[in-house]
Amino acid sequence: MKAQTMPYEAAETRYDDMTYRRVGRSGLRLPALSLGLWHNFGEGRSIEVQRAIVRRAFDLGITHFDLANNYGPPAGSAETAFGRIFAEDLAAHRDEIIITSKAGYYMWQGPYGEWGSRKTMLSSLDQSLARIGVEYVDVFYSHRPDPETPIEETMGALATAVKQGKALYAGISNYSPEQTIAAAAALREHGVPLLVHQPRYSMFSREVEDGLLDTLDDLGLGAVVFSPLAQGMLTDRYLGGTVPSDSRAATSHFLNEESITDTYLERARGLQSIAEGRGQTLAQLALSWVLRRDTVTSAIIGASSVEQLEGNYAAIHSLDFDDAELARIDEFAVHGTLR
């Protein structure tokens, strides 16, 4: 007989330890760590495991849950799973929670199932709201720039979502510095500010340092960075030079065994040594390192277990680096390490 899930009561201590950081020059604050539901939520994992992760995250003060229309697998299933958990456990705390979603990558068949047209963006948002079971998301993102749709049209759709009350804020992801400036200007024409940019940023993916972070500072935007652990490559899972059968490199098309190169191992092991000297794991060091920048409001972490979530959470307590540490890290934190 299946065991009954105990009713959830949020921890009274949930705000005692987490750090909340302002998103650019806005009034919104986000937890230093956010829970991303990209890979570990959907039909391939027990709903009870997913529920345990979400509950523990909220108990730790992680109030931001990051989704997109196509997260799963299959596409849409992460929103559906989170919607069920939210309805059963967290609905009473809606005003304490930031729920975000995105549209832009492939989601459904036909000419309107991806990219950035007004039709696609607003249809996708309605679908996401239905799957999650909420009246609005806190941030609705353009997940990627559309090379064939005027940026004014895509941003106009975000502005409509905000004015309709289906989103509280507008955001973008994967936009270049120039595209970010154009997006902010286009939204400004509608009287809607651009709040946040969600770029990839890790020790092995440092492209944002070549202009984007400065652009966000100039515009007064915050960065909520994804893949700060480089899809798990900035953890201790691969330091032995082999690929566990249940690891991201073995099961995801985003990584493969060819990623475990001699160069990667040399750099990852060098960073591991620095982490040990700081009393951290490699994953904790990687998270602390991206969070050292004021422009970075929050780092999105995935979690396949409560234990993994708790291990990553400890990174928020070690955000200080001296110049010597940063110089040593730069020897190994090389952009383009993963090909």
Q: CA dist 284 to 46, 249, 301, Å?
A: 26, 20, 11
| C-alpha–C-alpha distance, residues 278 and 176, integer Å | 34
| C-alpha–C-alpha distance, residues 102 and 33, integer Å | 19
Q: Are 183 and 151 in contact (CB under 8 A)?
A: yes
pLDDT of residue 245: 54
CATH number of the domain to which 99 belongs: 3.20.20.100
Q: Are 288 and 279 in contact (CB under 8 A)?
A: no
The values of phi and psi at residue 91, to 5°, are: -55, -35
The total number of structural domains that make up the chain: 1
- Residue 134 counted as domain residue: yes
- Residue 12 counted as domain residue: no
Give the 3-state secondary structure of residue 239. coil
- Residue 169 counted as domain residue: yes
Q: Are 80 and 131 in contact (CB under 8 A)?
A: yes
- Residue 328 counted as domain residue: no
Joined tokens for residue 20: 């909340």
| C-alpha–C-alpha distance, residues 173 and 204, integer Å | 19
Global pTM reads: 0.94
pLDDT of residue 240: 87
| C-alpha–C-alpha distance, residues 31 and 300, integer Å | 10
pLDDT of residue 249: 52
- Residue 207 counted as domain residue: yes
pLDDT of residue 243: 66
- Residue 165 counted as domain residue: yes
Joined tokens for residue 70: 């196509």
pLDDT of residue 67: 98
Q: What is the pLDDT along the chain (339 residues), one digit of tens a residue?
A: 455 678 999 999 999 999 999 999 999 999 999 999 998 898 888 999 999 999 999 999 999 999 999 999 999 999 999 999 999 999 999 999 999 999 999 999 999 999 999 999 999 999 999 999 999 999 999 999 999 999 999 999 999 999 999 999 999 999 999 999 999 999 999 999 999 999 999 999 999 999 999 999 999 999 999 999 999 999 999 898 776 655 555 455 555 677 899 999 999 999 999 999 999 999 999 999 999 999 999 999 999 999 999 999 999 999 999 999 999 999 999 999 997
- Residue 176 counted as domain residue: yes
- Residue 279 counted as domain residue: no
Listed residue (98, 113, 173, 106) closest to 143, CA to CA: 173
Domain residue limits at 164:
20-230+295-305
